[in-house]
Structure 1
């Protein structure tokens, strides 16, 4: 992030560059974006001629209307744009742009503790105090569904493709191409795109960056995918498990730490797995707090329909350098700078700021407390029976959102990672969601029991 006012109160060079680009590209409107506690991207649209005021004074809004922010009697909040996040919106004919903002508490002038972006910055500050910069690269998967005659989403896929399939089975290749063009216009470096395992399921991979930029990019990615899919009369969803009994969508997240002199702190060429002791301690920290982390990385009722054995989703608390049945995998790396770990359990319904913050705090806890990392499990854990899992000391993630929320409440470190305000509001919202789910009666239950009993 950049400071967008100079010491004398004027504009910084970065902010001035944004104002110049607004003029050069004839931008009419600015969308000032921020994210609520549940991970929904919000925005306030202002005429482009308000850009300088946004940088110098901020733009005020009613925080009491945003999920999990503040009470009605303390509603005034201020948006402070981050000039480094400026981008033209490619689906708006080039006349609209966005800036991602930090939320400021107007009564104190300090960052609002309920702002998820601020929560992630706290995790990165802790890493910096320990001498590390955190890099991350997520892989958010999504489904493309047809719309009905009223423009509403269905669960009918527009192709019958499978993993890495080509046209004519993969009918969405043109959609992915247009999404990639849109993402590249907004500054993304795209590594690859392909059809995923399930019908109608897709993945587009973008290059790693520092964790804050990457979390910003996740919100942008979801927005671009949805907007461009809609131009093709398709609905894009990041719901983890929209169709039963097939693979769900994950957001595998690659993480590495770099030292202040630019060295990858996770690499050790003398180690059997090319992983340093720091990397193993970081891994041990995530494994230690995995049950509580799941409430943040897999925060919906539907998340736990994905986290079941048999559909390539990781449910077993272990790590491996070979297979994908473990919670954490050590991917192959061609060069030392690419050494990293891959947390395979997050899904794309999570708030990326909160998920990254929780993962980082858990990993740093492993380093600070010199946690011992268990041996990697090189066999397919899906084929283990309960006794064999016990012999390896392998536990499982919570089986539903309620269990995950209980684990979160019992985990002091992850609660502290979220901060008092976010932890309280997050638990309040998610417990209400789970209670609403528990008292509902599904079509499956009616089909199964109504005429039987």
Structure 2
């Protein structure tokens, strides 16, 4: 059974002493979602809880210049979590997620968590809470003699296959046990379509809680995999010719009375007007949010026809080739599933731009087109055009172009993150498009 949540300063100090915790990791993320950590010994905990820890912001990607580098990471008491896998050793460790403050004592505008906090507060002022439930896909790869990962899947199984407790299945179940020990609420786990590919589905919760958990989920998955002699990768498309890894996000709004704001038994498909307009906003802004939801050059190797990943801007109830699907289940289970995000991104920014798009749809009364239940992958261009079905950006450069033109993205992310993100990812795109690949050498060197 997971331990009871610890939310006060006194309770945290007591828990650390009772569990003989030696270190507490003070954590936050850079603009791309990489977890950053300052580890403090347990005897410095009380001071850190009161004062936070000081960091050099100029050393964090997308944070600040040397002239404005002094920042403070203030722990969020409700985020206290003990790493269960450390309890059988000498280095028993817990973590506290932090909010970042600048040298003037104000919330730092480049803190990705603050972006989501603001958007959650905006939804709250409109009378709604926001729930997110992500499905995480990842690959397990073998290690070479030096302990480095190689693109060799840990197994040759396929979708929902049950192996005789092969190593990959053992890793997945060990991951699930550790996440459950932390109270993360794993719904289910299974083998995915590609060899060595697995999925862990998290139970829905409020957007901030789930984004916080994702930061630790990635660490958990990688740590447990290494303990089993494997490497876990959240790279969207690590292997040619097979499916990539996505992070489908189920989302819904909760009204002030606790009821699902997307559910309407008398509505079309059992959906409320709020649900349709939220869905309409997600579709309307899908091109400009794509650089955040699918944030790397490699992300667009996944978003191609033929591998069950969404390419075309449409929605459906049953059709899994659509960008958005409305899964079965009504009442409290009514939800919208967005299928183009992948697990390589920053969950705070990903959740923020999804929520911003949906709320904008509700504010402007954006009505989505009719659902498309036919397999869009097998439609010809003329048929897609006649049905008004557009496409997502084909590469990171095109996605950044759409993002750079979006007032919604600028307002949601704030000037600091908006401009830093476009600059950082623009450099990535420039580096990629000028790089000569092995494919080009094999195809052209001898024939041109």
Is the shorter-chain TM-score for this pair beyond 0.5, marking a shared fold?
A: yes
Runs of 4+ with deviation above 6 angstroms:
none
Quote the offset at 1:90 in angstroms. 2.1
1:259 & 1:50 partners in 2: Cα distance? 42
Q: Which residue of 1 aligns with 2:103?
A: 106
Within 5 A, what are the aligned runs for 1:230-269?
Answer: 230-269=226-265
Quote the offset at 1:170 in angstroms. 5.3
CA offsets, 1:154-177, max 9 Å, x none? 010121100000114954111111
SS of the equivalent of 1:240 reads coil
SS of the equivalent of 1:101 reads strand
Instruction: Report how many residues are paired.
Output: 440
Within 5 A, what are the aligned runs for 1:191-230?
Answer: 191-230=187-226
CA offsets, 1:284-308, max 9 Å, x none? 1111110011000001000000000
Q: Which residue of 2 aligns with 1:74?
A: 68
Task: Choose the corresponding residue for 1:435, options 414, 417, 430.
Answer: 430
| 1:161/1:170 contact within 8 Å kept | no
Query: Greater CA deviation, 304-313 or 175-184?
Result: 175-184
Query: Greater CA deviation, 172-181 or 304-313?
Result: 172-181
| 1:257/1:265 contact within 8 Å kept | yes
Q: Does 1:16 align with 2:10?
A: yes
Instruction: Please report the TM-score for the alignment, with normalisation by the length of structure 2.
Output: 0.97
| 2:7/2:80 contact within 8 Å kept | no
Quote the offset at 1:348 in angstroms. 0.6
| 1:87/1:99 contact within 8 Å kept | yes
1:393 & 1:443 partners in 2: Cα distance? 38
Two-structure CA RMSD over aligned residues (Å): 1.2
Task: Choose the corresponding residue for 1:406, options 401, 405, 422.
Answer: 401
Q: Which residue of 1 aligns with 2:390?
A: 395
2:87 & 2:167 partners in 1: Cα distance? 26
Quote the offset at 1:272 in angstroms. 3.1
2:9 & 2:351 partners in 1: Cα distance? 27
Q: Which residue of 1 aligns with 2:349?
A: 354
Q: Does 1:144 align with 2:127?
A: no
Task: Choose the corresponding residue for 1:285, options 269, 281, 284.
Answer: 281
Q: Does 1:386 align with 2:381?
A: yes
Q: Does 1:28 align with 2:22?
A: yes
Q: Which residue of 2 aligns with 1:8?
A: none
Quote the offset at 1:92 in angstroms. 2.1
| Structure 1, gaps ≥5 residues long | 1-11
| 1:240/1:349 contact within 8 Å kept | yes
CA offsets, 1:166-219, max 9 Å, x none? 114954111111111111122211111100000000001121100000001111
| 1:58/1:78 contact within 8 Å kept | yes
SS of the equivalent of 2:151 reads strand
Query: Greater CA deviation, 414-423 or 164-173?
Result: 164-173
